Amino acid sequence: MNHPEPLSAPSLPQPVQDALQRGNLVEAIKLMRADTGMGLKETKDALEAYMRGEAPAAGFAPKALPAGAPLPAQVQEALDQGNKIEAVRRLRGLTGMGLKEAKDAVEAGGTGPDASEEGLSPGQVRGSNGLWWWFAALAVLALAAFALLGCATRPPVPVAELAPSGRLKAAINFGNPILAVRMPDGSPRGVSVDLSNELGRRLGVPVELVTFTSAGKVVEAVRDAQVDIAFVAIDPVRGADMLQTPPYVIIEGAYLVRNDSPIRRNEEVDQAANRVVVGNGSAYDLYLSRELKAARLVKAPTSPAVTDVMVAQNLEVAAGVKQQLEADAKRVAGLRLLPGRFMVINQAMGLPKGREAGARYLAAFVEEMKASGFVAAALTRHGIEGAAVAPPSSTP
C-alpha cells in the first residue's frame, strides 16, 4: 500500500516557512490564510501543531475538487440563485481553496460545457449522480487525512517528560551573565530566558522561570527533578546527574590577577604559591579541580563573587566567565585579565535523567535554534560579546 507523504516543511509555501523560521507566527498565519483560505483558528491550530512536530490536521492544505466532480449542493444552490460571490465563499469554507481557485471552480461549474449538454444542471457530470460524486470526494479526502495522521514520521512531542506538571519549569542561573541577568525589577533576561520561552511556546505550556545564583544549585535542582530544563556547561561530572544536549553556545574562561602580579600568562597560574578563586560547583571549579596540579582552589559561594573574595582575602587569581571578570576589572581598580583563555565552555541544555524522549526532542530543538539564527539573534539582542554560537552537532 502506498501511503501519502506526511506534511513537511517543503509542503508549506516558502513565505510561510520563512515567517516560521523567523519565529513570526502571526505573519505565518496571515500568509497561510491568504494561500489556503482557511479560517483564523484552524490556521493557528494547524501551524502550532506543525511546529510542535505533530501530524497535521485535515484541512491544513487546500483541497482541490477531484476531476469531474460537481460543486457541493450548497455551493450550487447559491450559484443557482445568481449569487456567485456567496458560492465562492461557501466553496472556500468547505474546501479551504484559495480565492482564485474557488472562483475558477465556481465559474467552471456554472458555465462549463457539461452544463449546457443534454439538460444537465449546472455543475452536474454526465452519467453520474452529482451528490454521490461529492460524498465520494469527501470520503477520499477524509481517508487521506487519516492516512496522514497514521503515517506522519515526526515523533509526538514528549510534553509528559519536558513539562510533567503542565508547566515548563526552567532553571535560570544569574551566576553566568552570558546566559541571564537580573533586571532592576528582579525579572530575568537573557539567552536562556528566550530559549525557555520558545520551548514552552512550542510545547504549548506556560513557562515558570526558577532563578538561581550559582550553577551548583542548578545542577542539584535538575538532579532532584525540581526543574524540567536547565542551562549548564557540559562536563563529565554533571553528565552523571543529568541528560545534556549538544552545546548551543561557546564561552571562554579567563583568569584575573592584580596589576602588580608577576603572573603574565595562563600557564603560570598552576604554581604552588597561587590560590585560585572559583565559584563553588561552577564549570571552572569542576575543570580546574581536574587540571590544576600545584595551585590551590578556594571556593567562593557563587561565580559573580570570585573577584570580591580574591580582593577581600588577598588571594592571587580569580577564575570565571571572561565577560564577568572584564566587568569586575572595570569595577575594582588595580586588576587585569590575563590574555587569552584557559578553557572553552560548551553551554548546553540539561534535564533530569530518565527522560530520554524529552532529551531527544531537546537536542533537536537546540540544533534548530542554532541553525535558524535564533541563538545568534538572542546574543545580539542582549548585547553579549565574547560568546559564539556552537557549531552544528552531527548527533542531535
The DSSP secondary-structure symbol of 11 reads: G
Superfamily of domain 159-249+345-389, CATH level 4: Periplasmic binding protein-like II (3.40.190.10)
Residues 6+ apart with CB under 8 A from 2: none
pLDDT at 34: 72
pTM of the model: 0.51
pLDDT in tens, 54-75: 544 444 544 456 556 677 777 7
Mapped onto helix, strand or coil, the DSSP state of residue 130 is: helix
Helix axes 374-381, 356-371, angle to 10 degrees: 70
Residue 162 in contact with residue 229, Cβ under 8 Å?
Answer: yes
Task: Compute the radius of gyration of the chain from its Cα atoms.
Answer: 30
> Domain 250-344 classified CATH 3.40.190.10?
yes
Residue 357 has pLDDT above 50, yes or no: yes
Specify the pLDDT at position 387. 82
pLDDT at residue 182 is higher than 60: yes
pLDDT at 127: 38
Backbone dihedral region for residue 62 (phi beyond 0: left; psi -120 to 50: alpha; all else: beta): beta
Decide: 120 and 26 in contact? Cβ < 8 Å.
no
Does residue 102 carry a pLDDT above 90? no
Alpha carbons 8 and 217: distance in angstroms, whole number: 41
Highest-confidence segment of 39-43, 112-116, 157-161, 255-259? 255-259
Taking Cα atoms as reference points, which of 71, 70, 66, 59 lies closest to residue 96? 59
Q: Which of 5-9, 37-41, 103-107, 277-281 has the lowest mean pLDDT?
A: 5-9
Give the lowest-confidence range in 1-15, 102-116, 368-382.
Answer: 1-15
Q: Amino acid letter at 8?
A: S
Q: Where are the domains of the chain?
A: 1-154, 159-249+345-389, 250-344
Give the single-character DSSP code of 190: S
10 Å Cβ neighbour count for 47? Answer: 22
Other Cβ atoms closer than 10 A to 366? 25
Contacts of 371 (CB under 8 A, 6+ apart): 392
Helix (H, G, I), strand (E, B) or coil at 218: helix
From the CB of residue 228, how many other CB atoms can be counted at a distance below 10 Å? Answer: 30
User: C-alpha cell of 296?
Assistant: 590551590
User: Letter for the amino acid at 91?
Assistant: L
Distance CA 146, CA 116 (A): 38
Q: Give yes or no for a contact between 168 and 199, defined as CB atoms under 8 angstroms apart.
A: yes
- Note whether 92 and 99 are within 8 A (CB): yes
pLDDT at 152: 41
